[in-house]
């Protein structure tokens, strides 16, 4: 109750400050989803309040973006998605504080877009601004005509946020012969100068092509699962597996890559690629310590956007290739994926129909997301959608039982 009163107090104070020229924008939303697995269970009943408080004065500005998720069966979740200060100079901008930093030209795929970690509490189903977590960082941009040089320093590493125990979106653990024990003692990356992350980007937007070149010295946002087996060696001829401990652990990654986007007649052609050095993959090779091997890999994409009969169409092909591959590695040497989007507006843009699909080619599995959005009034929309998972394995197939239909009512102000 005290917490609720303090939130209300903050809201009243903020509302009072509006008179002082603060810009208050945001939305209130109700999101209700039902699983289609036969029991008609609710997959989500969520009420959201998202507020953007902003002000700018000549060369300085700030933004604070508090949000609240209220669930029928969980504690109120409150946070700050962003909270930063801007300083604008003649050809340099500085942004200091918690911020979302988005790079690359890919849609819905993360290749060079690795600065802000992901909130996968609800897998990839949330809106992209909700999947992106703000990170406390210093960002400096230097502008020269249509060229931009960007440096980002993140003092403290933030990992991907995974769904809590018991969530239907919790990724499946690999099958072990005995029930493993998860030991988180190696998971934290100590906050120190040596452990900070740094990224650099050069980008240009020109009449012929837009491109970005980037490099990063980062931590792998997703922990590697180090597997330690306990063996009973009383009979050396026949050792018996007595237990397994899994240690999630983050490793350093060095990344170099780039992306481009250009028009080719009626098409927009997009590409993005990155070389990752220092990634750890799980292996079934019994001789390998802790069942992990370090391998570099390439991740790249080619995309095409086109408009046909007022339908905006977009397709992407994505491949991840592990270099110096070893057959014992759990992942495939080449992981292939495709995405497809079709969207069209009707009734003077009051009705939008959209269809988005991720297709995991290796596992013949997909996530299909049809949506119908209708604007009842300016800033008030009703969304009817479905998330359909097909296949049985892989990133999407593992959620085959989580097909759902949902509605979202959203009031933007």
Partner 1 sequence: MKYKISMFLLIMIFAVSAFAQEKITGLQVMEKVYNRDTGNDMEANLTMTLVNSRGEKRIREIKQFLRDFGKVEKKIMFFIKPADVRNTSFMNWSYDDENKDDDQWIYLPALKKVKRISSDSKSDYFMGSDFTYDDLGDRKPADDIHKILREEKLNGEDCYVIESTPKDEEYMYSKTITWVIKDKWIGLKKEFYDEDGDFLKTLNIEKYDKIKGFWIILKTKMVNKQKNHQTVMELSNVKINVGIPKNKFTERMMKRGLK
Q: How far is the CB of 145 from partner 1 (least distance, A)?
A: 8
- Phi then psi dihedrals of residue 370, to 5 deg: -80, 145
Pairing type for strands 240-249 and 180-182 reads parallel
Q: How far is the CB of 411 from partner 1 (least distance, A)?
A: 9
Q: How far is the C-alpha of 211 from the C-alpha of 231, rounded, in Å? A: 53
Q: How far is the CB of 247 from partner 1 (least distance, A)?
A: 35
- Phi then psi dihedrals of residue 400, to 5 deg: -55, -25
Q: How far is the C-alpha of 172 from the C-alpha of 338, rounded, in Å? A: 22
Q: How far is the C-alpha of 186 from the C-alpha of 290, rounded, in Å? A: 13
Q: How far is the CB of 213 from partner 1 (least distance, A)?
A: 15
Q: How far is the CB of 140 from partner 1 (least distance, A)?
A: 13
Going by C-alpha positions, the residue among 155, 104, 162 that lies closest to residue 133 is 162
- Which CB sits closer to partner 1, 41 or 127? 127
> Which residues of the chain form contacts with partner 1 (CB under 8 A)?
25, 27, 56, 61, 86, 88, 93, 100-102, 104-105, 127-129, 132, 141, 143, 145-146, 148, 203, 205, 207, 210, 261-263, 265-268, 305-307, 310, 345, 348-350, 377-379, 381, 410, 412-413
Phi-psi bin for 165: left (phi > 0), alpha (psi -120 to 50), beta? beta
- Which CB sits closer to partner 1, 66 or 397? 66
- Which CB sits closer to partner 1, 25 or 74? 25
- Which CB sits closer to partner 1, 21 or 236? 21
Q: How far is the C-alpha of 45 from the C-alpha of 34, rounded, in Å? A: 9
- Which CB sits closer to partner 1, 76 or 102? 102
- Which CB sits closer to partner 1, 88 or 325? 88
Q: How far is the CB of 362 from partner 1 (least distance, A)?
A: 27
Q: Which two tokens stand for residue 303?
A: 């995309």
């Amino acid at each position: 109750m005290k917490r609720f009163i303090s939130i209300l107090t903050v809201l009243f104070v903020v509302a009072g400050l509006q008179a002082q020229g603060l810009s208050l924008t945001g939305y209130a939303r109700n999101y209700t989803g039902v699983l289609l697995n036969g029991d008609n269970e609710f997959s989500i009943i969520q009420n959201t309040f998202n507020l953007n408080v902003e002000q700018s004065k000549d060369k300085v500005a700030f933004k604070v973006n508090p949000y609240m998720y209220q669930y029928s069966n969980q504690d109120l979740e409150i946070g700050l998605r962003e909270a930063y200060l801007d300083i604008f100079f003649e050809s340099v901008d500085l942004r200091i504080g918690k911020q979302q930093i988005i790079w690359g030209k890919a849609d819905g795929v993360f290749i060079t877009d690795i600065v802000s970690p992901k909130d996968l509490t609800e897998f990839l189903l949330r809106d992209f601004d909700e999947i992106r977590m703000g990170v406390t960082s210093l960002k400096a941009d230097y502008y020269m005509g249509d060229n931009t040089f960007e440096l980002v320093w993140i003092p403290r590493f933030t990992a991907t946020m995974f769904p809590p125990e018991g969530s239907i979106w919790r990724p499946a653990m690999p099958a072990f012969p005995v029930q493993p024990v998860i030991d988180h003692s190696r998971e934290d990356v100590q906050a120190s100068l040596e452990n900070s992350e740094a990224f650099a980007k050069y980008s240009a937007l020109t009449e012929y092509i837009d491109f970005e070149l980037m490099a990063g010295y980062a931590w792998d946002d997703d922990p590697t699962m180090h597997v330690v087996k306990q063996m009973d060696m009383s009979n050396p001829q026949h050792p018996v597996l007595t237990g397994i401990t899994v240690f999630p652990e983050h490793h350093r990654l060095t990344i170099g890559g780039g992306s481009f986007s250009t028009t080719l007649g009626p098409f927009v052609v997009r590409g993005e690629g990155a070389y990752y050095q220092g990634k750890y993959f799980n292996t079934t090779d019994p001789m390998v310590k802790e069942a992990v091997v370090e391998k570099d890999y390439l991740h790249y994409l080619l995309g095409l956007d086109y408009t046909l009969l007022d339908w905006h169409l977009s397709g992407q092909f994505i491949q991840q290739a592990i270099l110096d591959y070893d057959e014992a590695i759990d992942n495939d040497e080449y992981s292939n994926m495709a995405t497809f989007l079709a969207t069209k507006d009707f009734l003077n843009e009051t009705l939008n129909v959209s269809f988005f699909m991720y297709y995991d080619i290796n596992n013949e599995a997909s996530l299909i997301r049809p949506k119908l959005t209708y604007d009842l009034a300016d800033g008030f929309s009703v969304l009817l959608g479905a998330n359909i998972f097909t296949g049985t394995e892989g990133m999407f197939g593992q959620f085959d039982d989580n097909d759902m239909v949902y509605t979202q009512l959203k009031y933007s102000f």
